[in-house]
Chain A
Amino acid sequence: SQTIHQWPATLVQPVGSPLSLECTVEGTSNPNLYWYRQAAGRGLQLLFYSVGIGQISSEVPQNLSASRPQDRQFILSSKKLLLSDSGFYLCAWSLGLGEQYFGPGTRLTVT
């Protein structure tokens, strides 16, 4: 069966510091991968998605970036965090039928 991992689970970072969040999927090959952000009390905002290694689509211009160094690994990064980057970050995967499967999330607090 497929599983998806995210780490860290929680993170507190000062403004201006770098960020690296990692997501890995097990039990499937060539999945579509996604990064979402969920601000407090808000819905989900799609940040990036990838349909293959090296193929990254950005949905929202901001100070975040994403990379997919391996088939089942998706990394979200920032060089300098802003207060507005605080939120709950969710990684998801799919095989292209529309339904997506989500990881447990990373709670990021920028202070």
Chain B
Amino acid sequence: AQSVTQLDSQVPVFEEAPVELRCNYSSSVSVYLFWYVQYPNQGLQLLLKYLSGSTLVESINGFEAEFNKSQTSFHLRKPSVHISDTAEYFCAVSDRVFGNEKLTFGTGTRLTIIP
């Protein structure tokens, strides 16, 4: 069985400051990794994904995440946040081997940007 841990339920950050949202997973098999963003009263949007290849993946709006296999982590970072980044962020994992029909989600991190 897989699990995803997002240790920080809420992260307040000043505008233009850097941020890191932490994600750790446990799995007995190789995995695919994802970050989703949810704005208030909306569905989840895929922010970025790691399927294979380079362990550093980037999104179009300045976020990046690095897959660290030895630490089983997939932390999300942004060097300078904006007010518009205020949202809830979910880390998710699916396994490569036994079927990837399902995603296992973390409990989410609410990112609040302080002007």
Residues of chain A touching chain B, judged by Cβ–Cβ distance below 8 Å, are 32, 42-44, 46, 49, 51, 88, 90, 92, 94, 96-105, 107
Decide if A98 touches B107 in the complex (CB within 8 Å).
Answer: no
User: For the complex, what is the distance from the CA of A49 to the CA of B102, rounded to whole Å?
Assistant: 8
With beta carbons under 8 angstroms apart, the residue of A44, A88, A102 that contacts B45 is A102
A44-B36 Cα distance, complex, nearest whole Å: 12
Is B55 close to A, CB under 8 A? no
Q: Which residues of chain B come closer than 8 Å to A103, judged between CB atoms? A: 43
B102–A99 CB distance below 8 A: no
Taken together as a complex, chains A and B put the C-alpha atoms of A92 and B34 apart, in Å, by 15
Say if the beta carbon of B105 comes within 8 Å of chain A: yes
B41 and A97 within 8 A (CB): no
Asked if residues A99 and B34 are in contact (CB atoms below 8 Å), the reply is yes
Cross-chain contact B43 with A98 (CB below 8 angstroms): no
Residue among A46, A99, A107 making CB contact with B46, cutoff 8 Å: A99
Q: CB within 8 Å of A: which of B61-115? A: 90, 94, 100-103, 105-108
Interface centre among A51, A97, A99, A105 (most CB of B within 10 A): A99
CB–CB A44/B105 < 8 A: yes
What is the distance, in angstroms, from A3's C-beta to the closest C-beta of chain B?
Answer: 12
Contacts A43-B107, A44-B90 given; indicate if A97 touches B51 (C-beta within 8 A): yes
With a cutoff of 8 Å between Cβ atoms, the chain B residues found around residue A99 in the complex are 32, 34, 46, 49
In the complex, A88 Cα to B41 Cα: how many Å?
8
Add 14 more A-B contacts to A90-B44, A98-B34, A102-B36 (CB < 8 A). Answer: A42-B107, A43-B108, A44-B44, A90-B43, A92-B43, A92-B44, A94-B101, A96-B101, A100-B46, A100-B103, A101-B46, A103-B43, A105-B41, A105-B43
